[in-house]
Amino acid sequence: MTRSSRPYLARALYEWILDNELTPYLVVDATQPGVEVPEQFVQNGQIVLNAAPSAVRDFFMENQAIGFSARFSGQPMQIMIPMEALLAVYARENAAGMVFGHEPDLAALDEALADEPGEEAREKDDSEAKPALSAVSDTDESGSRPDGQDKDGKPAPDDKHKESAKKRPSLRVVK
């Protein structure tokens, strides 16, 4: 049976945030069954919780759930978050973290994989289509290499404008 990666990634992120002396925040889908959070602080079906050791007591993060005690408006409350309701873990100071998407039904995935033909059947099907090696040159017909350099290792003249057009991808937090 395949297990969800969410609890493992959430624990790793939580520990990384604490190791970097940042404040871990949890975003929770408060509409999920089994979620126990203060309803008066839920907005648009979600709640953001400060999970720093200085803000909570008896914190635990297991494969099935996250739980701790905290005070809200001076009133102590026991918080329970089933792992499926955890939407994100991030650091308050720099928003570094992860948003968790919808996970597929892992039981159905296991069944689908079990119905695939075994290794022996795949070997018979693939026996005619084996990969073959062929020689590949470092340069194309124009003398340019795939890395944008000519045969002497200098940037190819027509690739200068391409380099400026290529930008590194970046993530942006939308609140």
Per-residue pLDDT tens over the stretch 131-142 = 555 555 555 555
Higher per-residue pLDDT: 167 or 11: 11
Domains in the chain (CATH in brackets) are 6-104 (2.30.30.220)
Mean pLDDT along residues 16-29:
96
Mean pLDDT along residues 94-116:
71
Please state, rounded to an integer, the average pLDDT across all residues of the chain: 78
pLDDT-based confidence at residue 4 (cuts at 50, 70, 90):
confident
Q: Write the pLDDT tens digit of every residue in 28-84.
A: 999 999 999 999 999 999 999 999 999 999 999 999 999 999 999 999 999 999 999
User: What proportion of the chain, given as a percentage, has pLDDT over 90?
Assistant: 54
Q: What is the pTM of this model?
A: 0.60
Where are any strands of DSSP class E within the chain? Answer: 24-29, 46-50, 57-61, 65-72, 75-82, 86-91, 97-99
Structure tokens, 13: 């992120």
Give the 3-state secondary structure of residue 13.
helix
